[in-house]
Amino acid sequence: MLRISLSLLAALGLVVSAIALAATDHTVTEKGKKFSEKKLTIQAGDSITFVNDDNITHNVYSKKVNQFDTGAQKPGASDRIVFKNKGKQKVRCAIHPKMKMTVVVE
Ligand SMILES: [Cu+2]
């Protein structure tokens, strides 16, 4: 019985590491009305968690049509966006037009 449970645990561990290898979650913070990265290159399937680390409301959206828009993002809030399609995306904050970054999905 113990032996079965151990192999089951090992199998589960393998599945978990396979998922971890397949996709990475990157973090970009918004602080001082700036994104923490000017340009971030990721792999298709990866995600980016955008964290509002400011004391004002921000927004994160892609200028590429039909991609993503977090809506109003209050201080302390975060949104995880999965990037499935390869290509370059200009990411902006609708409230502060000077907040700019580029995400390159390879
Ligand atoms: Cu903003």
Q: List, as ranges, residues with CB under 5 A of the ion ligand 1.
A: 58, 93, 95-96, 99
How many angstroms does the Cα of residue 27 sit away from the middle of ligand 1? 16
Model confidence over 50-64: pLDDT tens digits?
Answer: 999 999 999 999 999
Q: Which CATH class is domain 24-105?
A: mainly beta
How many angstroms does the Cα of residue 62 sit away from the middle of ligand 1? 13
Model confidence over 43-52: pLDDT tens digits?
Answer: 999 999 999 9
* Residues 6+ positions from 1 with CB-CB distance below 8 Å: none
Whole-angstrom Cα distance, residue 77 to residue 51?
6
pLDDT score of 68 more than 70: yes
